[in-house]
Amino acid sequence: MNTLVPLLASYYLMYLSLSYSYWLTLGLAVLTALFTVRLFIIQHDCGHMSFFPSRKWNDSLGYVCSLFTMVPYYYWKRQHAIHHSTNGNLDHRGIGDMDVFTVDEYLKLSKWERLRYRAYRNPIVFLLFGPLVLFFYINRHWTDPVQYSQRDKRNVLITNLTIAASFALVGFGIGWIALLKIVAPVLYIAAGAGIWLFYIQHQFEHTYWKPDQEWNFVRAAMQGSSFYKLPKVLQWFTGNIGFHHIHHLSPGIPNYRLEKIYVENPEFREVYEVTLASAVKTIFLSVWDIQQQRLISFRELRRKYTAQPA
């Protein structure tokens, strides 16, 4: 009620604002995108079966949320579960997470492969173009025909058809140009915020990466997930996802109880803390240095490990 209702109201205000100024519409798009992010966190909790005690209610609400976030519920739920079970595991990378190469792996790449990886890890690329890739590609089809169930695959197709039908219906009612002016900036901003949150919660200097035989679930949660300390307003809009170490340690805890657990248990405060200011320092850390057990930049890699351009 405090998320979906104001989200719909914000969309309606954006529609009304088109008659006055598109700058006002864009300003409202930021607010609408924030409500979309919060709704996705509720969908995310439902995927973990944590928002309600009932599996049926979790799946039902999660599916409803997905119609507004446009992220296939069952498909994403399975992908995200894999992320939780493999976070920080060097032998199980690349599912529901941002790709990370080790120094040795990077140095073995061809010039073209290095260029592609550098582009992929460039903050301008993943923050500006990432939302488009996320919406039009990643969330529109399944990447592995074996990994996902028939239900997951149907969920992607049904979500795509629902989006198309909804856009056609609303576009016919208010006009295609008006629809694009309203929906496009909201989805772009919300997807960009989601990418950034996911990035900063795991991609920081002293994060956790270990080979499978050394990997430990508790250490991966507490050392490989940051505490993103946000202003109270942003903390609310992001559904307390900043308490990410607690969430990874116990995904069954709903977002509305994470802060209480953080306050009542001092051990949860002895983790890597990120703020809005300090987060900027992490965006150029791109390669995992096994020797130093930390994430380093391409500049440091070039200086320490090769005399050739990295």
Mean pLDDT, residues 262-287: 90
How many residues does the structure list for the chain? Answer: 310
Mean pLDDT, residues 266-294: 90
Is 135 among the domain residues? Answer: yes
Is 62 among the domain residues? Answer: yes
Is 280 among the domain residues? Answer: yes
Mean pLDDT, residues 144-158: 80
Query: Does 308 score more than 60 pLDDT?
Result: no
Is 15 among the domain residues? Answer: yes
Tell me how far apart the alpha carbons of residues 28 and 31 are, in angstroms, rounded to a whole number: 5
Counts for the chain of helices (H) and strands (E), in that order: 15, 5
User: Tokens standing for 50?
Assistant: 């944590």
Query: Does 13 score more than 80 pLDDT?
Result: yes
Is 221 among the domain residues? Answer: yes
Express each pLDDT in 97-146 by its tens digit: 788 999 999 999 999 999 999 999 999 999 999 999 888 888 888 776 66
Mean pLDDT, residues 267-276: 89
Contact 234, 280 (CB under 8 A): no
Collapsed DSSP state (helix, strand, coil) of residue 73: helix
Tell me how far apart the alpha carbons of residues 60 and 209 are, in angstroms, rounded to a whole number: 35
Domain span at residue 52 reads 4-305
User: Does the pTM exceed 0.85?
Assistant: yes
Is 310 among the domain residues? Answer: no
Number of domains in the chain: 1
Strands 227-228 and 273-274: parallel
User: Tokens standing for 188?
Assistant: 């772009």
User: Tokens standing for 249?
Assistant: 């340690």
Is 110 among the domain residues? Answer: yes
**Roughly what angle, to the nearest 10 degrees, separates helices 73-86 and 150-174?**
130
Contact 295, 203 (CB under 8 A): yes
**Which is more confident, 309 or 219?**
219
Express each pLDDT in 158-201 by its tens digit: 999 999 999 999 999 999 999 999 999 999 999 999 999 989 99
DSSP 89: B
Q: Which residues pair with residue 289 across a beta bridge?
A: 294
- Based on its alpha-carbon atoms, the radius of gyration of the chain, rounded to whole angstroms, reads 20
Of 205, 210, 251, the residue nearest 226 (C-alpha): 205
Mean pLDDT, residues 247-261: 95
pLDDT of residue 48: 96
Distance of CA 92 to CAs 76, 117, 225, Å?
Answer: 18, 18, 17
pLDDT of residue 145: 62
Confidence of residue 309 (pLDDT cuts 50, 70, 90): low
Q: What percent of the chain has pLDDT over 70?
A: 97
Exposed/middle/buried for residue 124 (C-beta within 10 Å: 0-12, 13-18, 19+): exposed
